[in-house]
Chains A and B, each alone.
Chain A
Amino acid sequence: MKNAGTVELLCDSVKWIEEVPRVALLVYASMPGYFDVLFAGTNGTLLELSTWIQRPGSVFSHERVRVVRQEAIVVGVTVELPHHELTQRQRNDSSWLLQHSNAAQRRNLATNAELLRAVAPPPCDGAYYLRCLAVDENRRGLGLGHQLMSACVSNAINGGFNSLHLDVRADNAAAVALYRHHGFAQVGETIVPAAKWHTIHMVREGLSGEI
């Protein structure tokens, strides 16, 4: 891998603010349907997502974004967080949405609640969540996904979590194969026909025995 860096928190770089638009693009590409619904009617999905990445307390906050860079450019990202943070951060995001939306936007969110819930699984004790993993489409096949996934598993183990959860689009065969390679098994799925949405919920159990 050419000049591949280590996986680190986005905000460990003094220039992280300048990287937010690129990170937003990668995070968006991992679940475009979700963000298009979440930010419908705003000034722009990528602009809004960039705001969330800069906002402390959000699920997608820079506090929870990890990146890998090549030649000083962000080429892969993960958003991962422990279960006990998920509820509070979801609550922060919903409160923020309520306070920064109009009635039409709120109606849209309420109408699409089933889809939004499909990618916001309820937290369970002892779990660590990988909410997003994305690699620049021009840098795929270089092992970056494996590098990000291995780092995420290490973070979960080092944090004392017993299981690692994620959701992935059912038609993303490459991602599903990557997760299976890293020991994940499918435990459920969510299908929202109206939104043409089909995700698989995958879990890797028994992390506490891998220390």
Chain B
Amino acid sequence: MPFRNRAAIKEFILKHVAERSGATLPNDVPDSFDLLEQGIIDSLGLVDLVAAIEAASGVEIDLSAIPLDELTVVGALATCVDKAVVAARSGDTTKATCKQ
């Protein structure tokens, strides 16, 4: 199920972490929302989230270009994944980076 756009990726992220954590998230989660800082996921939950995104998108995501402290921020992660999905779609590879 390839993601249509960045908004769909953000929606997937929020739905996945809400299901796993049982937490009720605000209706309009800002891009600056940090899942770890807010106690929605733990550090292993982040690995689980990325694995779920990769399974849903069919794209292996290279996260080496995203700063470590931004990995758990919803907007930054969604943008990163979006770039990777777009790159994979336009290229001939299933592994994509989220480099600028």
Contacts and interface: CB of A to CB of B under 8 A. Distances in A.
Contacts of A107: 51, 54-55
A140 interface: no
- Interface-central residue, B46, B52, B61, by most chain A CB under 10 Å: B46
Interface residues of B, number: 20
A98 B63 contact: yes
B52 A92 contact: no
Interface stretch (B1-9, B21-29, B36-44, B85-93): B36-44
A98 B60 contact: no
Interface stretch (A3-11, A13-21, A109-117, A174-182): A109-117
B68 A103 contact: no
Contacts of A158: none
Contacts of B47: 94, 97-98, 106, 109-110, 113
A117 B42 contact: yes
Nearest to B70: A95
Given A103-B51, A109-B51, A110-B52, A91 B64 contact: no
Given A92-B68, A95-B71, A120 B44 contact: yes
Contact of B48 (A92, A102, A113, A120): A113
A95 B71 CA distance: 8
Interface string A118-131: 00101000000000
Contacts of B63: 98-99
A99 B54 contact: no
Interface of B: 36, 42-48, 50-52, 54-55, 60-61, 63-64, 68, 71-72
Given A94-B47, A107-B55, A113-B44, 18 more contacts: A87-B43, A90-B42, A91-B36, A91-B43, A94-B43, A94-B46, A95-B46, A97-B47, A98-B50, A98-B63, A100-B64, A109-B44, A109-B48, A110-B47, A110-B48, A110-B51, A113-B45, A122-B42
Closest 8 pairs (CB-CB, A-B): A94-B43, A110-B51, A110-B48, A103-B60, A95-B68, A106-B51, A90-B43, A99-B64
Interface of A: 87, 90-95, 97-100, 102-103, 106-107, 109-110, 113, 116-117, 120, 122
